[in-house]
């Protein structure tokens, strides 16, 4: 009777853990599915970046600020770093269809310089003082470079950084619950732990022997 009770309690405990581990395993896998596909694909493109040809597309524009606006900017020159004034931002949006927001620009006595990096490309803007000559250049390196930068979190902003943190947590939950599921099913699958050991040994061997 005691053995039957112990067996019943063990089966009940096993069912409890199986239920919750499976639940968290599939939830975490659903959350990180698209991210895992993205990171796996861009891992290949990053690993073979030297073999993938890039054809950057460069766009250059020039303009001239109204004299009144140029004079106002020249009077305010001298700050080390500060956002562009609203009047200048409005002019850039109307003339270049360029929205720069509150990004910090570098101010000096004779120039305002604003770097505008983004995933898959770069851009910069300069305003010469006091004459008001404006130069803008944008470089687009293509979709592969764009997704590679998403992989690295390069110039992606705070929202993408928060996504990467959430994605990393989901991956950890997926891996940890998968490990415990392996442990529960290992008795019926003899190759479980040899395969886990192989997954540890191969990268460790490569790192120790071939990476210097």
DSSP state of 84: P
As given in the structure block, the two tokens for residue 190 are: 């003899």
Q: Say how far apart CA 32 and CA 167 lie, in whole Å.
A: 6
pLDDT at 1 over 60: no
pLDDT one-digit tens code per residue, 111-159: 999 999 999 999 999 999 989 999 999 999 999 999 999 999 999 989 9
Residue 92's pLDDT band (boundaries 50, 70, 90)?
A: very high
Domain range list for the chain: 21-52+144-210, 57-141
Residue 78's pLDDT band (boundaries 50, 70, 90)?
A: low
Pairing type for strands 133-140 and 104-107 reads: unpaired
* CB-count burial class (<10 Å; 0-12, 13-18, 19+) for 150: buried
Region of 205 on the Ramachandran plot (φ > 0 left; ψ -120 to 50 alpha; else beta): alpha
Residue 2's pLDDT band (boundaries 50, 70, 90)?
A: low
Lowest mean pLDDT among 69-73, 86-90, 111-115: 69-73
pTM metric for this prediction: 0.80
Residue 3's pLDDT band (boundaries 50, 70, 90)?
A: low
């Amino acid at each position: 009777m005691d053995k039957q009770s112990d067996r019943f309690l063990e089966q009940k405990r096993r069912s409890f853990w199986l239920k919750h581990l499976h639940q968290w395993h599939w939830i975490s896998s659903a959350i990180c599915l698209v991210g895992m596909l993205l990171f796996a694909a861009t891992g290949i493109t990053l690993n073979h970046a030297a073999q993938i040809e890039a054809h950057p597309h460069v766009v250059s524009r020039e303009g001239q600020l109204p004299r009144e606006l140029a004079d106002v900017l020249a009077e305010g020159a001298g700050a080390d770093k500060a956002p562009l004034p609203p009047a200048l931002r409005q002019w850039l949006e109307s003339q270049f269809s360029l929205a720069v927001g509150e990004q910090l620009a570098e101010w000096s006595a004779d120039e305002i310089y604003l770097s505008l990096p983004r995933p898959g490309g770069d851009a910069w803007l300069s305003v010469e003082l006091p004459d008001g000559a404006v130069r803008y250049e944008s470089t687009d390196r293509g979709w592969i470079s764009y997704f590679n930068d998403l992989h690295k979190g390069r110039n992606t902003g705070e929202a993408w950084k928060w996504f990467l943190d959430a994605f990393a947590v989901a991956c950890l939950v997926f891996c940890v619950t998968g490990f415990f599921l392996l442990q529960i099913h290992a008795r019926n699958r003899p190759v479980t732990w040899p395969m886990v050991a192989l997954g540890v040994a191969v990268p460790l061997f490569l790192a120790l022997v071939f990476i210097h």
